[in-house]
Amino acid sequence: MPVIIFEGPGLSGEQKGELVREFTEIASRITGIGREAFVVLIKENEPDNVGVGGKLLSEFNK
């Protein structure tokens, strides 16, 4: 069972659905593995929990 993991910002339900559909479709087409075998995990990260270049992302948004 292949697993695709996406980590990023908070997304709407519509965006999550589109990501799951598109990731699954593309991965299935490229690998030849059936769509029903894929699991997609979406991990949302708040800007206060992500650091880039020594600063929190929330600091860049101020």
CA distance 22 to 11: 15
**Residue range 14-47, pLDDT digits in tens:** 999 999 999 999 999 999 999 999 999 999 999 9
**Residue 7 and residue 33 in contact, taking contact as beta carbons nearer than 8 Å:** no
pTM strictly above 0.75: yes
Q: How many domains does the chain have?
A: 1
Q: Residue 35: which CATH number?
A: 3.30.429.10
Read off φ and ψ for residue 33, nearest 5 degrees.
Answer: -90, 140
Show Cβ contacts of residue 33 under 8 Å, excluding neighbours closer than 6 positions: 2, 27
Residue numbers of the domain that contains 35:
3-60
